[in-house]
Structure 1
Amino acid sequence: MATELHLVSKTGMFQEMESRQHRMTADEPENNHGTDKGPAPYELLLASLAACSSATLRMYAGRKGFELGTITADLKFKRDADGNEKIERVISFSENISEERMERIRDIIEKTPVTKTLKRGTPIVTRFE
């Protein structure tokens, strides 16, 4: 799986991005030198994790033939005074899910592609042209 993104930054913290036919923006809030015209980079990171989590759970439930109803995901990125970072992810469903199915869902959520990428710390190779 290859994924690509093209970014153009003309001035300040505002960023314009393209991925396939989709256009996105990113910015920092005003209290962090931005203009607040889009989500901040860490918010986009959380959005990626939330979207992948929900999509993976939908695929799993679809294959197993049961409903999850509305999926709600609330994520927070936290950094403590020592610089330790963590993401808190809270997932809920509007449908009642049996404990047996919830046990499997707990396993599946830890194996979503973005979860695995973040947990293993994917290397980043940077080149300047």
Structure 2
Amino acid sequence: MTKIREVVVASDPTNLGALVGHVGESQFPVGGPDGAGHTSSGPNPYDLLSASLAACTAMSVRYQARREKLPLERLEVGVSFHRGAQGERDSFARTLVLGGELDAQQRAFLLEAANLCPVGKILGISADISTRLDATTSGRNASTQASYEDDLALLPIPNITPD
């Protein structure tokens, strides 16, 4: 039977109430607005969502490469989240960098393997995911990415006071 893991995010009273995520024995900071006019360091919820898609994609591609005994020597997956304009779907831009002596057919196979990622299937219900192969994931344009802080400010939440 599969054990269900729960991720818990809680305030850290020893660090001005910054948020910390816990899963199993692992801990990680959660960034974003702290309710007092400051921004905590660490990945914000959009970053964590993108990281989940990137990690799942990498695992799916690596699994398929090993299963097919393909010469994949290095793998890098870059993901950025983009908020859709009024009435349009949100989207994720995903870039794969595949290192090794792979031919065009093997690269195409691994590009398709990226779409087998379970997290991608879940996110694809409400967001578009475009995937491309590239030589590098660097050169990401942060200015086109969704801003978690901006989206949070747009929420119609009345009478909320910082904790």
TM-score if structure 1 supplies the norm length? 0.78
Relative to structure 1, the CA distance from residue 26 to residue 34 in structure 2 (aligned partners, 3 Å threshold; closer, same or farther) is: farther
Per the TM alignment, residue 89 of structure 1 is displaced from its structure 2 partner at its CA by: 0.3
Question: Residue 11 of structure 2 is aligned with which of 9, 27, 37?
Answer: 9
Aligned to 1:76: 80
The count of aligned residue pairs is: 119
For the pair 1:66 / 2:67, whether they are aligned, the reply is no
Per the TM alignment, residue 100 of structure 1 is displaced from its structure 2 partner at its CA by: 1.6
Relative to structure 1, the CA distance from residue 36 to residue 96 in structure 2 (aligned partners, 3 Å threshold; closer, same or farther) is: farther
For the pair 1:26 / 2:33, whether they are aligned, the reply is no
1:4-23, Cα deviation, whole Å (9 max, x unpaired) = 11121368883111111111
User: Which structure dedicates a bigger proportion of its chain to strand?
Assistant: 2
Relative to structure 1, the CA distance from residue 10 to residue 107 in structure 2 (aligned partners, 3 Å threshold; closer, same or farther) is: same
Question: Residue 113 of structure 2 is aligned with which of 104, 108, 126?
Answer: 108
Q: 1:13 and 1:82 mapped to 2: Cα distance?
A: 34
| 8 Å contact from structure 1 (residues 13, 34) kept in 2 | no
Let me know the Cα RMSD of the aligned residues. 2.4
What SS does the aligned partner of 2:71 have?
Answer: coil
Quick one: percent identity of the two aligned structures?
24
1:30-86, Cα deviation, whole Å (9 max, x unpaired) = 9xx443321111001111111111111111111111222221222111124315310
Segments of 5+ residues of structure 1 without an aligned counterpart are: 122-129
Q: 1:13 and 1:26 mapped to 2: Cα distance?
A: 11
Relative to structure 1, the CA distance from residue 21 to residue 99 in structure 2 (aligned partners, 3 Å threshold; closer, same or farther) is: same
TM-score if structure 2 supplies the norm length? 0.63
Task: Point out which structure has higher relative CO (alpha carbons under 8 A, 6+ apart).
Answer: 2
